[in-house]
Amino acid sequence: MTDSAAPLETARPPRRWDPVVKLTHWTIVGAILANGLITEEGSNPHVWVGYALAATLALRLIWGVIGPAEARFAAFPPSPARALAHLRKIAQGRRTEHASHNPLGALMVYAIWSMLAVIIVTGVLMANAPAEAKSPVAAPPAAVQNEAREHEKIGEEAEEHDGAEGGEGHGEEGPLAEVHETAVNLLYVLIVLHFAGVVFETRRSGRRIVLAMLPGRR
């Protein structure tokens, strides 16, 4: 472990991400913005953006095995020990260069990808859930709808009082939507930390690392 950090630390300074890393990064950013801000939750556009996100993440993960050295998982292994060592170096004011993500950034990258995986799996499961999971009584006749509204009111009150038993009709969708939403919120926290990390690293290293993520620039 001790000497494994050395090659990364002394790796050549000017880093330039390959087009696949750049493209997948900004496509993922775009998909999150689209589904977080624009598409209606659970709508067709939301789900299609979701599938595009899934395909993009899959491409990046394959690239982590077959891509150029800097893009490979081997170049930025998830290692809390290395991340701690990196923090110590920051505290000591030591400047480090990394061929790929720095050890702290690497943990962040894996955290973001894991969160995206949870969002995608729950999203796909919900999107493919049988129709009755969304509307417990399929296409209720008009006469039943008034009655249904009454039940809704009672249901809302019941939800407020007790979530322990839960409505039987929502058994499939409820927990998935909960996990989906919680993962989305955790993702937002990670994104804020990622952004803070990028700003911090830019100031600390003096390198404009964002430029390395932009098309055709360094």
Distance CA 49, CA 57 (A): 12
Residue type at position 24 = T
Minimum distance of ligand HEM from residue 191's CB (angstroms): 4
> In the Cβ-directed half-sphere of 96, how many Cα atoms lie within 13 Å?
26
Give 86-124 as a DSSP string. HHHHHHTT---B-SSS-HHHHHHHHHHHHHHHHHHHHHH
Task: Tell me the C-alpha distance between 44 and 126, whole Å.
Answer: 12
Region 35-74 residues binding ligand HEM, contact defined as CB under 6 A: 35-36, 41-42, 46-47, 50-51, 53-54, 60
Distance in Å, CB of 64 to ligand HEM, minimum? 8
Shortest Å, Cβ 209 to ligand HEM: 4
Binding site for ligand HEM (CB under 6 A): 21, 24-25, 28-29, 32, 35-36, 41-42, 46-47, 50-51, 53-54, 60, 101, 105, 109, 112-113, 119-120, 123-124, 126-127, 173, 177, 180-181, 184, 191, 194-195, 198, 209-210, 213
